[in-house]
Chains A and B, each alone.
Chain A
Amino acid sequence: MTQDEVFADVKAILTESLSVDDDQVTPQARLQADLDAESIDFLDIVFRLERKFGLKIDRNELFPESIFQGDPKFVQDGVVTPGGLAELKEKMPYADLSAFEQNPKFEQIGDLFTVDLIARYVKSKVDAK
């Protein structure tokens, strides 16, 4: 599958799961801030991606809980620590962290989850199959 094909399928899944118009699902759209995704939606999205692409996505893989739950090893005073950034890089090699690293505020971590990130993650999983 090409990146464009993966993106088209991911877009269709997000449109259905989040009940949004397809022109809202741009590569840069953030799942939470722009598309109003809630925690239960992430589980729904993972289920749909697995079904559509025939993947197995471990519970902690796409949305790593250790960071999101504010583990003090990784998050201190509302800022993601160097250890946390290293963890993010290891757990999310498909994410572009360059902008986030400049100002790694915990409250902005959700902004990393864009439509493009999901599509790149799925492409990496599909290629590894």
Chain B
Amino acid sequence: MRWIWIDRFTAFEPGKSATAVKCLSAAEDHFAEHFPGFPVMPAALILEGLAQTGGILVGEVNQFREKVVLAKIPFAKFHRDATAGEVLTYRADVLDLKPEGAIVKGTVTCGADPVCDAEIFFAHLDQNRGRQMFGDFNFVFSGELANLLGMAKLVASPSPDPPQLPPATP
């Protein structure tokens, strides 16, 4: 199972804000169980997508050297359900960023509709303790998240010469 709850970044301003989208598909497993005959995206997964958007925004500030972990969600309010076929837009804005962690304000919208407002507190896992527990391996920004990080970097710094597709051949 792939634990990635955003599809792509559409905007990324390092240290300030990030916007990502998530297209909801009826093929996603959670819709089958939540709930049978009434498929709505679990609120916790909506928050996960928002936390991935915000977590990458916070991690990028230190070039992903810190282990950024979701420590606390002091506030979250949900305005309406989200269901298959809809596109969610996740927006994360950094409210506060310090060596110990960061606070991000997040909003989730579907078109013009507000879906969720939340505040997310990220902690930088203590360097020493983190190394004792996990070694130098950064378990937060690893594996498949690397693809998203690559996208975040692309959106953050568009190349002056975007790669061109070769001309179509008959």
Q: Which residues of A contact B (CB under 8 A)?
A: 16-17, 19, 40-41, 43-44, 47, 50-51, 59
Given A40-B121, A44-B121, A51-B95; A16-B74 close (CB under 8 Å)? yes
Closest residue of chain A to B121 (Cβ to Cβ) is A44
Q: Which residues of B contact A (CB under 8 A)?
A: 71-72, 74-75, 95-96, 98, 100-101, 103, 121, 123
- Add 11 more A-B contacts to A40-B71, A47-B96 (CB < 8 A): A16-B74, A16-B75, A40-B121, A40-B123, A41-B72, A44-B71, A44-B72, A47-B103, A47-B121, A50-B96, A59-B100
A41 to chain B, nearest CB (A): 7
Rounded to whole angstroms, the CA-CA distance of A59 and B96 in the bound complex is 15
Query: Are A40 and B72 within 8 A (Cβ)?
Result: yes
Pick the contact of B71 from A19, A43, A51, A59 — CB < 8 Å? A43
- Chain A residues lying within 8 Å of B95, measured Cβ to Cβ, are 51
Residue of B74, B96, B100, B103 contacting most chain A CB atoms (<10 Å): B74
- Chain A residues lying within 8 Å of B72, measured Cβ to Cβ, are 40-41, 44
